Amino acid sequence: MMMIFMEGCKLGELEPPKPILTVHDKEMDYKIATYSWAENGHAIDADAAAPPYLVENMDFNVVPADAKLLIRFRYQPVNIEAGIWKNDRVHFERVMNNTVILPKGSGSFIYAIHASWEEGNAIYAIPIKVK
């Protein structure tokens, strides 16, 4: 379930930039989670389910062990953090050079990516299966 709170704008007009997430030049599927965005005197706050619930009906993105997830935006964030969702929380670590080193061991993981701009911030959920 996603709840949206808007102030002075039409639904869908305001949203944070969409990332392009790739591993070995293959685009990864993801879902946008909670976000806040404001520009030109308009603002929106959207609340979403936790990342595992957002991606539960998605196929996992299958990647090799120790692969690199490249995070790109057309409008570069001020800060990007990423982490694995585990035990109902995520421990975010700052992303350097727009790259996240994925786990060496096999398994299924839910990554959360948090990006911040002057206009707001967003969390993106990505299911990853390391083989």
pLDDT at residue 68 greater than cutoff 80: yes
Q: pLDDT band for position 130 (50/70/90)?
A: very high
Q: In terms of Cα–Cα distance, which of 96, 82, 101, 68 is closest to 33?
A: 82
Task: In whole angstroms, give the CA distance from residue 104 to residue 100.
Answer: 12
Instruction: HSE, CB side, 13 Å, CA atoms: give it for residue 50.
Output: 9
Q: pLDDT band for position 94 (50/70/90)?
A: very high
pLDDT at residue 8 greater than cutoff 60: no
Q: What's the mean pLDDT in 111-124? A: 98
How are beta strands 61-63 and 120-130 bridged, if at all? Answer: parallel
Give the model's pLDDT for residue 1: 47
Domains of the chain: 19-31+49-130 (2.60.40)
